[in-house]
Amino acid sequence: MKFTRITVNPNQMGGVPCIRGLRIPVATVVGMIADCMSEKDILKAFPDLELGDIQEALQYASEAVREREIPLVTLP
Protein backbone atom coordinates (compact mmCIF):
# COMPACT_ATOMS: atom_id res chain seq x y z
CA MET A 1 0.00 0.00 0.00
CA LYS A 2 1.25 3.46 -0.84
CA PHE A 3 0.73 6.07 1.84
CA THR A 4 0.06 9.48 0.34
CA ARG A 5 -0.78 11.36 3.54
CA ILE A 6 2.11 10.13 5.71
CA THR A 7 5.40 12.01 5.41
CA VAL A 8 8.81 11.58 6.99
CA ASN A 9 11.24 14.49 7.06
CA PRO A 10 14.46 14.07 9.03
CA ASN A 11 14.48 17.85 9.62
CA GLN A 12 10.98 17.92 11.11
CA MET A 13 9.79 16.35 14.37
CA GLY A 14 12.93 14.23 14.58
CA GLY A 15 11.98 12.31 11.45
CA VAL A 16 8.92 10.63 12.94
CA PRO A 17 6.05 9.86 10.54
CA CYS A 18 3.67 12.84 10.39
CA ILE A 19 0.46 13.71 8.60
CA ARG A 20 0.93 15.54 5.27
CA GLY A 21 4.05 17.43 6.36
CA LEU A 22 2.21 18.94 9.31
CA ARG A 23 3.76 18.75 12.75
CA ILE A 24 1.18 16.17 13.78
CA PRO A 25 2.77 12.74 14.33
CA VAL A 26 0.90 9.65 13.25
CA ALA A 27 1.44 8.32 16.79
CA THR A 28 -0.47 11.28 18.22
CA VAL A 29 -3.49 10.59 16.03
CA VAL A 30 -3.41 6.85 16.73
CA GLY A 31 -3.05 7.55 20.45
CA MET A 32 -6.11 9.78 20.37
CA ILE A 33 -8.12 6.97 18.79
CA ALA A 34 -6.77 4.57 21.43
CA ASP A 35 -7.94 7.02 24.10
CA CYS A 36 -11.47 6.67 22.69
CA MET A 37 -11.61 10.10 21.07
CA SER A 38 -14.04 10.27 18.19
CA GLU A 39 -12.91 11.28 14.73
CA LYS A 40 -15.04 14.40 15.16
CA ASP A 41 -13.18 15.35 18.36
CA ILE A 42 -9.79 14.73 16.75
CA LEU A 43 -10.71 16.93 13.80
CA LYS A 44 -11.86 19.60 16.25
CA ALA A 45 -8.56 19.39 18.18
CA PHE A 46 -6.52 19.56 14.95
CA PRO A 47 -8.44 21.67 12.40
CA ASP A 48 -5.75 21.07 9.74
CA LEU A 49 -6.51 17.35 9.72
CA GLU A 50 -8.98 15.69 7.38
CA LEU A 51 -10.92 12.48 7.91
CA GLY A 52 -8.71 10.72 5.35
CA ASP A 53 -5.66 11.62 7.46
CA ILE A 54 -7.07 9.76 10.46
CA GLN A 55 -7.95 6.72 8.36
CA GLU A 56 -4.51 6.59 6.76
CA ALA A 57 -2.79 7.02 10.15
CA LEU A 58 -4.61 3.91 11.36
CA GLN A 59 -3.71 2.00 8.20
CA TYR A 60 -0.07 3.07 8.58
CA ALA A 61 -0.02 1.96 12.23
CA SER A 62 -1.55 -1.39 11.28
CA GLU A 63 1.09 -1.92 8.62
CA ALA A 64 3.90 -0.88 10.98
CA VAL A 65 2.80 -3.44 13.57
CA ARG A 66 2.69 -6.16 10.92
CA GLU A 67 6.23 -5.39 9.85
CA ARG A 68 8.01 -5.78 13.19
CA GLU A 69 7.97 -7.83 16.31
CA ILE A 70 6.87 -6.09 19.45
CA PRO A 71 7.97 -7.70 22.71
CA LEU A 72 4.99 -8.66 24.84
CA VAL A 73 4.81 -9.99 28.37
CA THR A 74 3.80 -13.64 28.40
CA LEU A 75 1.36 -14.45 31.15
CA PRO A 76 1.74 -17.73 33.06
Residue 35: its pLDDT value, please?
A: 98
Which listed CATH number (3.30.390.30, 1.10.357.10, 1.10.10.10, 1.10.150.120) goes with 6-63?
1.10.10.10
| pLDDT for residue 74 is more than 60 | no
Indicate the SS3 state at residue 36: coil
Q: pTM for the complete prediction?
A: 0.84
| C-beta of residue 54 within 8 angstroms of C-beta of residue 29 | yes
Residue pLDDT, tens place only, 12-51: 999 999 999 999 999 999 999 999 999 999 999 999 999 9
Where in the chain are the domains?
6-63
Residue 62 near residue 33, CB atoms below 8 Å: no
| DSSP bridge partners of 39 | none
Give the whole-angstrom CA distance, residue 60 versus residue 49.
16
Q: Is the pLDDT of residue 6 over 80?
A: yes
Q: How much is the pLDDT for 24? A: 97
pLDDT for res 64: 86
